[in-house]
Structures are given as C-alpha cells and as structure tokens.
Amino acid sequence: MSSLKHHKIREGFLGQRMITIPPNIKSEVEKNELIADFNLTAIGYYPQAIYHDRRRKYGSAEYILLYCTEGKGSIEIENVHYEVNPNTFMLVPPNIAHHYSSSINDPWTIYWAHFVGKKADLLYAKFLKNEEAKIKSLPRDEYRLKSFLKIMNLLEAGFEIQNVELANIDLFHTLATMIYEEDINPSQSKEDTITKSIDYLNKNLNKNLKVEDLAAEQNLSVSRYSELFKKKTGYSPIQYFNKLKIQKSCQYLYFTDLTMKEICFKIGFEDPYYFSRAFKKMMGMPPSKYRSDFKQKKLSN
C-alpha cells in the first residue's frame, strides 16, 4: 500500500503536453469581449498516464474537462464514484471536492482542460440536462482529437491574442459538440425514442395526432412517453406538436400565397379560428398581420 502511495503523481508522463495561460494573458482575456465569457486557463494531454492521481479536497476554482480516449480510470465527486472507460468524458464543476486517478493495470490516456466564464456555467447546465453529473459516452472522432491538438499547437506557438482567441473559440465549439453529441447524431443513441418521435411529428404535421397515438408509435405507455418527452424538450408532446405546426405555418405565410384555410389543411387545423388563436399566442400577432408585416419587409429588401 505504501509503495502505491509513493507512485501517485499529478503529472510528468512520457509524451505529455501541458499549457497554462500566464496571469498577464488571463488579464487580457478577461477584458476581451469575444472570449471573456468562456476562456480556458490550462489544457493538456497525458498519454498512458500510469499512477496519475489528483485529489482536491476543496475542488478547483475552474471547471475541469476530463476526456478519456484509451485505458481506464475513476472519478469521485462528493463521494460519488464513477468508472472511466475509453470514449467517455466528465465535467467537474468548480469548488467541489473530487479525486480522479488512472487505472494501474490499464492506464488512461486523457485530454483535459480547465476553463471559466458565464458561458462555461451555461454549458455545464446543458451537460447536466436536469440530471446529476455522470460520465458521458460518445463515439471516437478523429476530428475531435485533432481539435484538441490544434488548440495546444496554437497556444504553444505563442500567446498572441489571435492565438488565444482561436484556442478559446475552438475549445468552446469542441466541448459543445461533445455535450450535444446525442442531439447532433441521434442515430448513435440506441434508445433515443423522443428524437425519433419528433421526426415522426415533423413528417405528420397535416394530421391530428393524440398523445396516445404518439406513445403507441414508440411502444411506450402514455405516462412514460410524456415524461421522456417533457424531459428532453421542456414541452408536453401536444404542445410541441402544435409548436411545430405554427412554425411550419410561418413558412407558408411568408413564402406562399396559400389562403388561411389551405394553410390550416396543410398543418392539420380544422378550425381557422382556433389556428388564429394558437398562432397569436405563440407569435404575438395574428397570422394575417404576420404575413403582411413580413411580406412588406421582403418587398423592402
């Protein structure tokens, strides 16, 4: 046991890369309107990091990304243990006690980054998706790995402001695509029933579907289907369906000369008066005014 403790190390791995933003550059970034809301403070790459072990009793002042591409390890956040496997990542929030370490038998290879800012808070909220923090899986993507290398190359080339700006923008984009992976590539998710259901809704805007029909189409009970739908979209299934219908009607109003009755037929509204009320509730004006206002803008342009 004592020899294991002796071998625990924070960094110093063959082939590692590690860049920390100097204090004077941090000060410049905080005044830079382009990147002040999301800026990295450190980034690195640890290949086959055997004995890598980091414990922070009071957490870090920044968010921490840990992205494992090979090997295994573990993360403990506030006494909750998570196993880390290849093609998984975790975001550790600021000021939270945590401990992470590489497997001794199958040491991990990780990309990591520390970052702060208001947009960092927003991305972390998206990462949680109204759930507790957990390890997220995602398919291996060589373009993503190249993005991390590009960011490090930029910063290693020098801390000129354009390099720092590009590095921050690239990291924000890369992290966002990781967090939104299931939404960007829903086919990668084996059980993304709600994405399939939304696709079904878009293909059937001309119909009057009930929640029972939608649940049955996904082989779910009404209660379970409604729960999953609300969790993913923030709307009930029928509210979302009507929202799609109104959005489609906006296209008809703007790009065509279809009558209100013809538009209602195309989006499955039998009663034009009900359509008009629903449209006004969502868009803040009647469909006739929407058409006249936006057609006038179109003519002006």
Q: Where are the domains of the chain?
A: 2-186, 193-300
pLDDT of residue 254: 84
What is the tens place of the pLDDT at every residue in 287-299? 999 888 876 655 5
- How far does CA 52 lie from the centroid of its chain? 28
Beta-carbon count within 10 A of 229 CB: 25
Cβ 82 vs Cβ 76: under 8 Å = yes
Answer whether residue 131 shows pLDDT above 50.
Answer: yes
* Among the listed residues 109, 114, 148, the one whose alpha carbon sits nearest the alpha carbon of residue 16: 109
**CA–CA separation, 75 vs 59, rounded Å?**
13
Beta-carbon count within 10 A of 17 CB: 17
Q: Is 220 helix (H, G, I), strand (E, B) or coil?
A: coil
CATH topology match: 2-186 vs 193-300: no
At residue 130 the predicted structure's pLDDT band, cuts being 50, 70 and 90, is low
pLDDT of residue 134: 81
Per-residue DSSP letters for 74-117? EEEETTEEEEE-TTEEEEEPTT--EEEEE-SSSB-EEEEEEEES
* Among the listed residues 134, 141, 145, the one whose alpha carbon sits nearest the alpha carbon of residue 188: 141
Higher pLDDT, 268 or 199: 268
Beta-carbon count within 10 A of 125 CB: 11
Looking at mean pLDDT, say which of 133-142, 191-200, 291-300 comes out highest.
133-142
pLDDT of residue 7: 61
Higher pLDDT, 182 or 138: 138
- Per-residue pLDDT, averaged over 110-117, amounts to 97
Strands 98-102 and 109-116: unpaired
Task: Compute the C-alpha angle 181/183/184, nearest 5°.
Answer: 65
Percent of the chain at pLDDT > 90 equals 65
Cβ 97 vs Cβ 59: under 8 Å = yes
The secondary structure of residue 284, as a DSSP letter, is S
| 193-300 classified as CATH 2.60.40.420 | no
- Per-residue pLDDT, averaged over 101-122, amounts to 94
N-terminal to C-terminal alpha carbon distance within the chain: 75
Strands 88-92 and 63-70: antiparallel
Residue carrying structure tokens 């055997």: 50
* Among the listed residues 35, 44, 58, the one whose alpha carbon sits nearest the alpha carbon of residue 113: 44
At residue 238 the predicted structure's pLDDT band, cuts being 50, 70 and 90, is very high
> Which CATH number applies to 2-186: 2.60.120.280, 2.30.110.10, 3.40.50.10800, 2.40.50.140?
2.60.120.280
Report pTM: 0.66
**CA–CA separation, 72 vs 100, rounded Å?**
11
The secondary structure of residue 285, as a DSSP letter, is S
**CA–CA separation, 273 vs 264, rounded Å?**
10
pLDDT of residue 1: 33
